[in-house]
Amino acid sequence: MEGFFNRFLPWLGRDQHPGPPETAPADHAAGRPGRRRFLALTALAPLFAAAPALAKSEPHDGHGDHVSPAGHGGHSSPVFPWRNPAIALTPPPRLTGKGEGVVMTPHVPTLGYERDGAVKVFRLTAQPVERLLLDGPPPPGSLWDRWHKAKGAMHGMDIPKKVKLWGFNGSMPGPAIEVVQGDTVRVIVKNELPEPTSIHWHGLEVPNDQDGVGGLTQPPIQPGASYTYEFTVHQVGTFMYHSSFNEKKQVGMGLGGFFIIHPADGSRRVDRDYAILLQEWFFLPGNEYVDVTSTDPNWFTMNGKSAPSTAVLTARVGQTVRLRLANLSNMHAHPIHLHGVTWRVTGTEGGPIPESAQWPGNTVNVSPGAIRDVEFTFTHPGYWHMHCHKLHHVVNAHASVPMGVMPMGGMTMLFEVAPAEAGQPPDHGGHVPTAQGPQAGHGHGPQTAAPHAGHGPDAPAEAGPGRKQPPAPSPGGQDREMPAAPHTGHGPSGGN
């Protein structure tokens, strides 16, 4: 075992592990972070938002200090800006947006892969991303527009909320990765952030040296550097990837995404398969930099959008629907509630739940770090309301008209459910899906082409034969998040 752990010595500094300090003063003399340093960092925290301004006035001064590895030697941690202008941002790799095509991730692209023999090769670039949490006013006549006008509440809905976060491949959340049980997966991660990072595969049973805990199981990925992960997936279900370095800040700035594994035998299919990532943020009024020190968020997003800029999901009566709900929030659980259905909770962050242990409901609490798959069938057409049932989480910016009629914001989405297709009974086979339900041939009509299961073709990213049509576009219009800087002309594989 000693030899095994010696592998970690170069970056873990095991020899220097002090153990319990004999006396506090000696510990301070050795440079161990103490209360004084904690207080200093607390005092510096608000400067984070101002850091880009400092960087602007001194474009190249001091960045050598800013990007130095953190945490070694006991010196004070540097304060990192949102972006290091000395690091050119790579445009999204060619295959961003061309995934397996089974799961729909509104507002977020999926990520295609290239093949290296039997290995599926994905590319993720961690980088600063500008994001519109709120696009602005819903288009006149759109569902959201009609709803809020009928309600008499449009106040504050017309103000776009543009923020500066961190993401992958120009997207926050990062693009969704879809693979098949048994695949060997290689993910090449490039760090274009101003500070070190590393990526953890949340819930995956991988070898320890692929677990992505920066400084513990691997050296942190320094700014400008790349790192390659490779492992074989044997599990099935809904998982995540996220930063596992400086997590409170880096996850709090958006560094995460879905990692979905389909069964090798093609089971667990449904007609409409949606993945929704739950996140929360605190923004001081008028500030586009998230305050990662706050424990009291005032903005709440589903796949990076707050209502009324969230997608309108679609389904037909009789179709089987799955929601994969994952919570990457720093602080809060989100009890997600859907009107008009009784669902079964069919999966967790640990994979599928055996049928005998699935439970019915219409509200499921998703804790930070947890994932819940729910499956159901609508029995009635119409507009069905889906929202977090912590009602503080369905307004934006704590609402500016607390004694008036508040518009719906935050973690709110709508389902637009069409009648069953002609010739089909609206409720064939019962409305609570059974374990057989998703495979029971409910599919019919243009939206129900069976997702292709099994291994992707050699060039899946180009063809996407199983691609389902995405849901209706966000009522607020197009996603407009993009890398923060003009593209620099690097090719998709540049820098790797």
Task: Give the nearer residue to Cu ion in terms of CB position, either 218 or 329.
Answer: 329
Buried b (16+ CB within 10 A) or exposed e, 225-256: ebbebebebeebbbbbbbbbbbbebbbbbbbb
Task: Give the nearer residue to Cu ion in terms of CB position, either 28 or 392.
Answer: 392
Task: Give the nearer residue to Cu ion in terms of CB position, either 335 or 382.
Answer: 335
The token pair at 68 is 């130095």
d(CA 254, CA 281) in angstroms, rounded, equals 9
Task: Give the nearer residue to Cu ion in terms of CB position, either 70 or 251.
Answer: 251
Min. distance of Cβ 393 from Cu ion in angstroms?
3
For residues 332 and 490, is the Cβ–Cβ distance under 8 A?
no
Question: Which residues 6+ apart lie within 8 Å of 51 measured at CB?
Answer: 79, 80, 81, 82
Question: Which residues 6+ apart lie within 8 Å of 359 measured at CB?
Answer: 344, 345
Count of residues touching Cu ion (by CB under 5 A): 4
- Among 447, 416, 381, smallest CA distance to 146 is for 416
Stretch in the footprint of Cu ion (CB under 5 A) among 45-53, 195-203, 327-335, 337-345? 327-335
Give bridge partners of residue 382 from the DSSP assignment. 417
d(CA 291, CA 295) in angstroms, rounded, equals 9
d(CA 370, CA 383) in angstroms, rounded, equals 28
Stretch in the footprint of Cu ion (CB under 5 A) among 31-39, 40-48, 200-208, 332-340? 332-340
Stretch in the footprint of Cu ion (CB under 5 A) among 215-223, 262-270, 364-372, 387-395? 387-395
- Give yes or no for residue 393 binding Cu ion (CB under 5 A): yes
Stretch in the footprint of Cu ion (CB under 5 A) among 157-165, 201-209, 217-225, 383-391? 383-391
- Give yes or no for residue 180 binding Cu ion (CB under 5 A): no
Segment holding 143, helix H or strand E? helix 143-151
Task: Give the nearer residue to Cu ion in terms of CB position, either 94 or 390.
Answer: 390
Min. distance of Cβ 333 from Cu ion in angstroms?
7
Q: What are phi and psi of 213, to 5 degrees?
A: -90, 100
DSSP secondary structure string, 381-448?
Answer: -EEEEEEESSGGGGSSTT-S-TTS-PPP-BSEEEEEEEPPPTTS-TTTT-SS--SSGGGSS---SGGG
The token pair at 63 is 């960045």
Min. distance of Cβ 413 from Cu ion in angstroms?
12
Min. distance of Cβ 247 from Cu ion in angstroms?
20
d(CA 331, CA 295) in angstroms, rounded, equals 6
Min. distance of Cβ 89 from Cu ion in angstroms?
32
- Give yes or no for residue 328 binding Cu ion (CB under 5 A): no
Min. distance of Cβ 310 from Cu ion in angstroms?
13
Q: Which of 107, 200, 334, 442 binds Cu ion (CB under 5 A)?
A: 334
Give bridge partners of residue 177 from the DSSP assignment. 259
Min. distance of Cβ 300 from Cu ion in angstroms?
6
Place of tokens 């200093």: 40
Task: Give the nearer residue to Cu ion in terms of CB position, either 174 or 297.
Answer: 297
Min. distance of Cβ 411 from Cu ion in angstroms?
5
Task: Give the nearer residue to Cu ion in terms of CB position, either 156 or 335.
Answer: 335
Stretch in the footprint of Cu ion (CB under 5 A) among 119-127, 305-313, 358-366, 384-392? 384-392
Question: Which residues 6+ apart lie within 8 Å of 25 measured at CB?
Answer: none
Stretch in the footprint of Cu ion (CB under 5 A) among 154-162, 284-292, 330-338, 416-424? 330-338
Q: Which of 155, 186, 390, 398 binds Cu ion (CB under 5 A)?
A: 390
Q: Which of 199, 371, 388, 417 binds Cu ion (CB under 5 A)?
A: 388
Task: Give the nearer residue to Cu ion in terms of CB position, either 67 or 395.
Answer: 395
Task: Give the nearer residue to Cu ion in terms of CB position, either 388 or 417.
Answer: 388
User: Which stretches of the chain bind Cu ion, using CB under 5 A?
Assistant: 334, 388, 390, 393
